[in-house]
Structure 1
Amino acid sequence: MSLNRLMIGGFVMLPDGSGIGRLESVVGQESIVTIFHSFSELEKVRVPTARLARSFLYPGTRVYPLSENDVPKIGRVTSYNLSDDGYVSYEVQFPNRRTIYFSEIDLRVRCWRARGEATEILAAGIGESQFLHDRRFAATRKLIEARASAQGLTGLISSGIEFVPHQVAAVRRVLSDPLLRYLLADEVGLGKTIEAGVIIRQILIDDPDRYVGVLVPSSLVSQWQNELRDKFYVDDLLGTVEIIAHDKYDELERVPDLLVIDEAHHIVGDELAPAIRAHLTKLAHQAPRLLLLSATPALANPEKFLSLLNLLDPSAHKMDELESFKTKLDQRQEFGRLLLGLIPDSPGLILRRRANDAKRLFPDDPDIVSLADQLEIATKDGTEDIAGLTRDLSQHIASTYRINQRVIRSRRSDAEGWEFQSRGPAFPETEAATLSHVRIDDDEDRRIQDIINALEDWRAAALSAFEGDEYEIRLKAAMRYRDLIEALGVGVEAFADVLQVGEMLFPNETEILAGIRSILEADPGPRCKLDVAEDSIRILKGQFPVHAKPKIVAFSSATPMAQALHERITRLDRHASCVIVRTQSPDQVEGILRRFVESSDTWLLIVDRSGEEGLNLSFADAIVHIDLPLSATRIEQRIGRVDRFGRRKAVIRHRILLPYIDEGSVWLAWKNVLAYGFRVFHEPISDAQFLLDKIDREFALTIFEGGVTGMGAFIKDLHEKVVAERKKQDEQYALDRIALADEGGSAFIETMDEFEEAEGEFGEAMESWLVSVLQLKRYRISSQSPEVFGMAWGERSLVPRRPWENQFGLDNPSPMTWRRRIAITNPGVVLERPGSPLLDSCQRFMRWDDRGATFLTLRIDPAWPKESPPWLVFKLCFVVEPDLPEASGIFSDTDNMGCLRRAQQFLPPALHTIYLDVTGTPVTVADHLKILERPYLKARDEHQGDLNLGSRPELLAEFIDPALLPLLCAQIREHGQREILQRREVFVMLENAARRAQVDCDRRKRHLLRRAHFEDIDIRDELHINQKIALAVAHPQVRLDAIGLFVICSGMTLTSENP
């Protein structure tokens, strides 16, 4: 007989994730299946027979045998036999350790979505040792404390990262929104990948069946794979993540549940082929959840910015409305200028002007008019809170009139407490930048001077030929001159290649270029650029202390130079250097980077132009520029590989190799533009990206028309332009900064940090449950790292191996730790927190199995008066949390997760314990509570200790009539819930939470109504969501997690058998 044949009365696995049921009958193509929720609740469902599969119980499964007298029992499966009739007989062990075989027909198993609670278990006189309850209670309390600190962001708390305010605020904003379509537009190096990693992890935690597609530039595929694996442990989650290059989008198996696009400005610019851009745009519109990553500079280009917003919401941001969009941007800049002036400690006259400006800009917004009027009065008579009014006015403007509510951008100034290390030595703002950390070497090729003189002849001839011509024609000649100069900076060989391309620009150009080519035939002399580059690198290394083991990065625009330099450096020490060039695969690049990071013998990484983007080299000490591109963008990209978020080292040293450094050198002039105009060796210029291409063209035209004379004025003018651009961005950014600051990220991080300080206690409580009770095996990974360990199933584990071994993530476990610092410093070591497969599945198992959820304890305590009769006291443990579906089921309703996270910002889950006597009166006497709160201690004699009454029904009956226990338990359960809600601290907490949630709901409603008036958008869904969240907080769920009964006496004579 086939084991897979469905048996009437036997167990079947339901197809909808409900778990195990009992097959009652088969009628045609349908079957009737009974689902067991609890002793008092059975559910019958119709299921297509073809979708059912026979199910078997594994050792450790909690079962509820049927008895002739209908007395409820509980036990666990320890073994099984297959009967001749095709049914399975299971050996069941009861709490008193007796074992009996039952046919599967006579057993019941709770479904995954069981709705019963522990009260009816206790009412039946069933209770296992309080030893189990004590450990379950400790683990539950710590898990709830962790969830409360994270406010539902378990993907954040369980990632191997530090909590950085601007990153946490971004993640919280995105994951608290039921409509997940966002643009992360932080400045370069602020950790957009970290924000995206947390969001990806949370999406997979919410629903393990989800499919996440991450599209990135091909050079970043390996970096993304490493980050998601080592910091966010996506390989341990059941969902699927695919990281694919932009141009290989067709390798996605389907439209992702979450589509992430890094460097999203590439798909709205000219970097990708039109067909690829069109397909990616269509994919972005189809994806139900979309996360775009693009550096802030893309937002400075109105056309690109609109294109990015069109990906998020094509109906609200139409591509044929560019001019009206530009008008909106100008308006937002004026709004930002107003917000920058709303400083609480400004003189009253200034604040009154700002208040009048607000009323002038927003005459139809009654909230703004009212707040502005109040602010005016407050500055005159001082009766109102000026700081509070300016804050409320600023936040209302920012929240209501941002260009898009789903654009999140942060700047370096927002990384409060996580400031970036300085790129260079400090200097007074009014003085020229100090360049003690920048050194220059010049090429010793003898041909350079002659080539420069010939290029001057070319420039003079071109100027004469184009004198009086239009700007575009002169610019074309200037850019040709710039290309020649830049190529000569790369090397004579690269310069020779550039001479071969390009159309003739003026009549006698052919003769001049022929003369230059003849120079190239000359003898370069005894030392070439390769020799100088090697010397420069070794000199730089020698400037560090011998014990320092520095890491140096050398950038070369030319692949042949990078490869040749690598061969030169490694001729004496083959481990000293490694090289990354454009022809290598992502896997090769990953291996080379790992070697550079991990090997103490490898101190130099040489990269060609392909290494100027994507690489994270924040651990490096110095940069060597084998050439100096005449592009501020490329210089910033190079330095940005090292100057990144998380960098711990101070000043970045530079060594720059130029063709010629005497007076009149164009390259020296360009270095000065970078150093004194942009100040790029001291501060990032990515925020001025929109200016950079324009400045590059202006520099080209300046050196073409006048050489290096007048560079001082050019540099001064440039610096003023950069300052003005940053001021403009301050104004544009003001709305975003204030709106994001309204998220309360700092207080949220403080709450998580408070929990993290007790991570040792968290680990102890979890191991006490997982190892001591559930009998999982804990083993050391390494004797050198006691905080890193592994867990595995053991022969005596009390959890059914299937499906839980896979659910717990222990079928192929990773090294794990309870310590965040260990996880951060040891990539790949999984941080165990709610959100990890082990702990999330542990919580689900605890809800399904109900082991330790009840107890019946006879407590013999000498402190109890001998003359007093036995005292019966119930312990009840309630969980109070927002009433949304996820809070009630073993498996979550993922559609509500964003709502739940926002609701938990007002009402985090909390565990409340109360002790009631049989009259329903709370126990408050300290001495009595001390007796009740003592941990379980098995009795050794009749004078002190605890006995499990659950395995002694006859003894239990001496204290309470079993027939009265069900009614008493039900009454106590109702009394307990009522008493918990009436406790002053709980009542005040719930009242404040409901008030804050409703205030937030009303505030959001006002903002939405003003936005709808201002932008003509549909707000009905958001209004419904906001009200739903407020109601979930105002009417919370109160769930009984555990209940137990104490019988307190001073002593007794033991007559019943030991448990």
Structure 2
Amino acid sequence: MTDPISAVAKGLCDSPEYYEARRPFVDQLVRQRSASRGYSAVLSAPIELYQHQLDTVSRVLSDPVLRYLLADEVGLGKTIEAGLILRQLLLDDSQATVLVSVPVELVHQWEGELRNRLLLDDATMERRLRLVPHDETADESGIRQHSLVVVDEAHRLIPHFSRRPELREDLLHTKGLLLLSATPLHGHISAFLDLLNLVDPAAFPRDDLDGFRERVEQREREATSLQVLASRRANLRQRGAVLDGLLVRHGVDPVVAALVQECRSTDDLTAPAWSDLINYVRETYRISRRMIRHRRNSATTEEYPVAGRQATVVAIADPARAVVDEFLEQYRDHLVGRSACLPFAQAVLYGLGGPRALMHHLERRLAAEPDSPEAVPLLDRALLEATVARLQLTDTSTRLRLAIEVVQERLDRNLKVVVIGTSSDIAREFLEFAKTQWDGLVVEHLSGVERDMGERNVWSFLTGPGGRVLVGDHTLEEGRNLQDAQVLVNLDLPLDPNRLEQRIGRLDRFARRTQPAEIVAFTEPDSDWVTAHLRLLDEGIGVFDQSVATLQRKLGELFEDVLGRLPCEGSRAFDVDLPALRASLEDERVEIDLLEELESVTAASDFDEAGLAELRDAERDVAGLRASFARLTSARGGIGLRPQEDPRTGLVRFGVEHGDVISGVPDDRAEELLPLLARPRTYARDVAISRGGAAPLRIGDPLVDWLADYLHADERGRARAVLRRYAGVREAALWLACDFLIEFDPAYLGAADKAARRRLRRRGDALLPPTIVRTWTDSVGAAPIILEREVLALPFDQGSDLVIRGQVWNDVLSALPDWRQLCRASGEAAFDQVQAMPILTSVPMVAAERASQEAAARLAVLHARSQWLRSASERASAERELKREELLGQALVQGTLRPAVSIIACGAVVLWPAS
């Protein structure tokens, strides 16, 4: 029914019960779409709403080219961001398919996130979503046919290109590509270029590493320059020197030139021109506009909770330590003049991990085959055999026993404890001790354990009640979410500080708790080796105080330097100038922070503070949603799903089973609906978050979307007519109620595909949120407010009101023989009233101006960036992007300036003399 007014005029009306049952729910749907800017995947997923994650989703999905590097700092939720993007893609297009490639040890974790936090069920994952480990991606066929490919820990997929070079070509030619990496800016420069080349090959050719390095170094210098402009302490002379430099680098950009001139013309160091210039240069000349990076403690992430860390150092008096330290010194003497850095470093690693770890390491080397990399040269065998014999005659279990005591103390406090050892042998021995001590509370994740079993163990550890223990080795050190654990016990400390940071980072990430993660490390005061190593990690690097993830490159250099000096200097290799090291690391942190801040996103696109506040207000209206859904699914004129809300859990289930008749739904449509009722739902977002697998009743949920589609197709409730007795009239009077839906019109995009229109409509919804306007008019004009409120808008009263049907039509038409003409005239009066409202006068003009400014800003950025592209292919690619954005911008302005207006329901109320 496209014209409800004509339907009323022709008498094609039904009971007002249908309209009154459906109206509140339709209002909720429009409000949800408005508040969420059309991102139904966000609303219908049981996740907490954070500004930086919503910003990432909107930036990616509003772009006609779906190719991005998501580079949020560790622990800020890149998995959720990518999951929401792929979920929206699957919701928007029933034919879309997605491939997700992750490291093998993260497959189970991703499966859990996709099912429990993104509610992608088994059927979807079987038909439209494939999740594969990195080492199987190289053998995957049809990569280019997927709508989107998502690669987690993307830097770890790059080595697979050497085995199958065509994999790189496949990724370069996918329709959409999301790469996830937390450390692109401070890893190896070539790896960074590799990632950017995959998402934007024209702007980042792989054969120009020197040019890319120069670009990064230029941004590092520019970061310092912009810091001067932002500093309140910098005077006009210092700022003037920075302005000169900006003109040298970006003077061909008219926006930069104009802003520089504006800055020069003012003596006010707080004038808006300074921040305008900083923000423009930041956004326009970022290393890549296709990299999105948010940082902790920025404006958009300040609400995001991160666990933090604090250290507990436990001293050991180990009777076998002297044997270990003596061996390390003797072994070092044996290696003089030989290139055996790696074997010695391994001996040091296991020696620092305790006598028992070293004993197992030496036993394994002595048992190695002669042609094995671990084989022991003949001249070293006697020393290694003698050391093993001495250790076998000594008590080497002191560290394990103390670790058991440490864990016991935490279990007594009902804490979840992760125990990790570099040595899988020691981790397994601890596991045996632990199982004897706490049978039923201990699970393992060790190399050699079947992967699915290990993942189930991690899940049971994280979700099981009370204190528990998870024992692991290196397989737990990267990419895994263990923030629900409170304690990390290190059976040893890796030589590589980046490895230790990865290990600690499993717990120091997003977490809803007040206490930081406790990081337990063991020291041996009588050992120069152990104390020097711990002092370097603690006092020199500070890895136990705060995250050092941004120092990856510098710490890698430090690690290589220590490794090189170990054979010559022994434990003294750890004795670096600690104050100087801290200072150099702090300088590195400042430089990285400046560059990261320059490259990070600080302003939300669609979800600014006001937009986020509107969304959260809508989410808090649980009572309104509950009442509207209950009315639709329980009242006369609705759809009989019989929802039942458990007051204890807040979960909603439905009293409909297969074979039941669903009132208000034809049998053929009921067959579509019944399977959608199995999943538990909830009105409240916090209930959905706390209850695994429960879905918020929001647009994007299959049930809610089915109801929305059904109400759109079902004609009932669209046209109604009622006779109402009223003492205030002496003769019958017709009043018409019209519900207008006013929304951004994406039709101005022309013959674009549906996906492009959906993306544009979301941008339009952010500028001109959809709204429903209701009018009451007669053939002359709008109803008086008092009459509307106290008479016309009252709900249908079965005791006194009459549905106009049968004989009542004859009475009404006798009293109002010009019924059709009155309906048309009243409808025209309703249109005139709406056309004069701000929603169709001033509001679209303001929205169109904002759309114009947004489009101009995007075009300015793209145009400025194209100026420094070097190759013809890069410039051609930029030109295509400019034209595409220009068309989108024009459609965005037109669609907001001239919104779509449609009547979704119409009702006639005939006021009848009371006598």
Whole-angstrom distance in 2 between the partners of 1:1023 and 1:236: 41
Q: What is the letter of the counterpart of residue 832 of structure 1? A: L
Whole-angstrom distance in 2 between the partners of 1:218 and 1:717: 40
Q: State the match for 2:400 in structure 1.
A: 533
- Relative contact order: is structure 1 or structure 2 higher (C-alpha 8 Å, sep ≥ 6)? 2
Q: Which one of 115, 125, 131 corresponds to residue 17 of structure 2? A: 131
> Are the structure 2 counterparts of residues 453 and 130 from structure 1 closer, same or farther at C-alpha, using a change threshold of 3 Å?
same
Whole-angstrom distance in 2 between the partners of 1:581 and 1:703: 29
Q: Which one of 383, 396, 407 corresponds to residue 515 of structure 1? A: 383
Deviation at 1:739, TM superposition (A): 6.0
Q: State the match for 1:926 in structure 2.
A: 786
Q: What is the letter of the counterpart of residue 861 of structure 2? A: H
Decide whether the 8 Å contact of 1:126 with 1:856 is kept in 2. no
Q: What is the letter of the counterpart of residue 54 of structure 2? A: V
Q: State the match for 1:900 in structure 2.
A: 761
Decide whether the 8 Å contact of 2:229 with 2:274 is kept in 1. yes
Q: What is the letter of the counterpart of residue 316 of structure 2? A: D
Give the gaps of 5 or more residues in structure 2.
Answer: 870-874
> Are the structure 2 counterparts of residues 607 and 379 from structure 1 closer, same or farther at C-alpha, using a change threshold of 3 Å?
same
Whole-angstrom distance in 2 between the partners of 1:360 and 1:888: 42
Q: Which one of 303, 325, 330 corresponds to residue 190 of structure 2? A: 303
Decide whether the 8 Å contact of 2:764 with 2:892 is kept in 1. yes
Between 585-594 and 611-620, the greater mean CA deviation after superposition? 585-594
Q: What is the letter of the counterpart of residue 133 of structure 2? A: A
Matched, 1:724 2:608: no
Deviation at 1:723, TM superposition (A): 1.6
RMSD value over aligned CA atoms? 2.9
Q: Which one of 693, 700, 703 corresponds to residue 556 of structure 2? A: 693
Whole-angstrom distance in 1 between the partners of 2:824 and 2:191: 64
2:279 counterpart SS class: helix
Deviations 1:239-293 (A, max 9, x none): 722211112224566631111111111122x3x36224x3432331232111111
Q: Which one of 774, 782, 807 corresponds to residue 638 of structure 2? A: 774
Between the two proteins, the alignment pairs up a number of residues equal to 887
Deviation at 1:622, TM superposition (A): 0.9
Matched, 1:175 2:61: yes
Q: State the match for 1:156 in structure 2.
A: 42
Q: Which one of 456, 477, 485 corresponds to residue 329 of structure 2? A: 456
1:494 counterpart SS class: helix
Decide whether the 8 Å contact of 1:216 with 1:245 is kept in 2. yes
Q: What is the letter of the counterpart of residue 946 of structure 1? A: D
Deviation at 1:500, TM superposition (A): 6.5
Q: State the match for 1:240 in structure 2.
A: 128
Q: State the match for 2:664 in structure 1.
A: 798
1:152 counterpart SS class: coil
With the length of structure 2 as denominator, give the TM-score of the two structures: 0.91
Q: Which one of 737, 748, 751 corresponds to residue 875 of structure 1? A: 737
Q: State the match for 1:592 in structure 2.
A: 457
Whole-angstrom distance in 1 between the partners of 2:644 and 2:676: 17
Decide whether the 8 Å contact of 2:58 with 2:605 is kept in 1. no
Deviation at 1:564, TM superposition (A): 2.7
Q: State the match for 1:391 in structure 2.
A: 275
Q: State the match for 2:505 in structure 1.
A: 640
Q: What is the letter of the counterpart of residue 390 of structure 2? A: A
Deviation at 1:203, TM superposition (A): 0.7
Q: State the match for 1:314 in structure 2.
A: 201
Q: Which one of 954, 960, 964 corresponds to residue 816 of structure 2? A: 960
Deviation at 1:816, TM superposition (A): 0.6
With the length of structure 1 as denominator, give the TM-score of the two structures: 0.79
> Are the structure 2 counterparts of residues 792 and 559 from structure 1 closer, same or farther at C-alpha, using a change threshold of 3 Å?
farther
Whole-angstrom distance in 2 between the partners of 1:156 and 1:836: 10
Decide whether the 8 Å contact of 1:624 with 1:654 is kept in 2. yes
Matched, 1:411 2:295: yes
1:491 counterpart SS class: helix
Decide whether the 8 Å contact of 1:856 with 1:1045 is kept in 2. yes
Decide whether the 8 Å contact of 1:297 with 1:686 is kept in 2. no
Give the gaps of 5 or more residues in structure 1.
Answer: 1-37, 39-115, 425-434, 467-475, 1053-1059
Q: State the match for 2:846 in structure 1.
A: 992
Deviations 1:371-399 (A, max 9, x none): 1222232325x8xxx45323321222122
Q: State the match for 1:937 in structure 2.
A: 797
> Are the structure 2 counterparts of residues 1045 and 289 from structure 1 closer, same or farther at C-alpha, using a change threshold of 3 Å?
same
Whole-angstrom distance in 1 between the partners of 2:449 and 2:170: 29
> Are the structure 2 counterparts of residues 743 and 440 from structure 1 closer, same or farther at C-alpha, using a change threshold of 3 Å?
farther
Whole-angstrom distance in 1 between the partners of 2:489 and 2:767: 52
Deviations 1:648-684 (A, max 9, x none): 25132233346x541422x322222211222111211
> Are the structure 2 counterparts of residues 168 and 247 from structure 1 closer, same or farther at C-alpha, using a change threshold of 3 Å?
same
1:833 counterpart SS class: coil
Q: Which one of 492, 500, 518 corresponds to residue 653 of structure 1? A: 518
> Are the structure 2 counterparts of residues 627 and 712 from structure 1 closer, same or farther at C-alpha, using a change threshold of 3 Å?
closer
Q: State the match for 1:884 in structure 2.
A: 746
Matched, 1:679 2:521: no
Decide whether the 8 Å contact of 2:630 with 2:643 is kept in 1. no
Deviations 1:540-584 (A, max 9, x none): 43257x4x3111110022333323322222224421211112233
Q: State the match for 1:97 in structure 2.
A: none
Whole-angstrom distance in 1 between the partners of 2:820 and 2:222: 66
Whole-angstrom distance in 2 between the partners of 1:915 and 1:811: 38
Whole-angstrom distance in 2 between the partners of 1:613 and 1:710: 27
Whole-angstrom distance in 1 between the partners of 2:448 and 2:609: 45
> Are the structure 2 counterparts of residues 897 and 361 from structure 1 closer, same or farther at C-alpha, using a change threshold of 3 Å?
same
> Are the structure 2 counterparts of residues 871 and 491 from structure 1 closer, same or farther at C-alpha, using a change threshold of 3 Å?
farther
Decide whether the 8 Å contact of 1:359 with 1:369 is kept in 2. yes
Of Structure 1 and Structure 2, the greater helix share is in 2
Larger-gyration structure (1/2): 1
**Aligned positions of 1:527-926 closer than 5 A:** 527-529=395-397, 532-542=399-409, 546=412, 548-600=413-465, 603-657=468-522, 660-665=524-529, 667-709=530-572, 711=574, 713-737=576-600, 740-741=603-604, 744-772=607-635, 773-780=637-644, 784-790=648-654, 792=656, 794-803=660-669, 805-806=671-672, 808=673, 810-811=675-676, 813-861=678-726, 864-865=727-728, 868-885=730-747, 893-919=754-780, 921-926=781-786
Whole-angstrom distance in 2 between the partners of 1:327 and 1:791: 66
Q: What is the letter of the counterpart of residue 421 of structure 1? A: A
**Identity of paired residues, percent?**
25
Deviations 1:701-760 (A, max 9, x none): 344333344855433333223222222222322333356556653332111111112122
1:722 counterpart SS class: helix
**Aligned positions of 1:350-389 closer than 5 A:** 350-380=238-268, 386-389=270-273
Whole-angstrom distance in 1 between the partners of 2:791 and 2:423: 79
2:392 counterpart SS class: coil
Q: Which one of 77, 98, 108 corresponds to residue 191 of structure 1? A: 77
Whole-angstrom distance in 2 between the partners of 1:225 and 1:885: 38
1:570 counterpart SS class: helix
2:528 counterpart SS class: coil
**Aligned positions of 1:501-512 closer than 5 A:** 510-512=378-380
Q: State the match for 2:358 in structure 1.
A: 491
Decide whether the 8 Å contact of 1:581 with 1:610 is kept in 2. yes
> Are the structure 2 counterparts of residues 240 and 452 from structure 1 closer, same or farther at C-alpha, using a change threshold of 3 Å?
same
Between 219-228 and 771-780, the greater mean CA deviation after superposition? 771-780
Whole-angstrom distance in 2 between the partners of 1:970 and 1:893: 35
> Are the structure 2 counterparts of residues 959 and 246 from structure 1 closer, same or farther at C-alpha, using a change threshold of 3 Å?
farther
**Aligned positions of 1:910-1059 closer than 5 A:** 910-919=771-780, 921-938=781-798, 940=799, 945-950=800-805, 952-961=808-817, 964-984=818-838, 986-1015=840-869, 1016=875, 1017-1018=878-879, 1019-1052=882-915
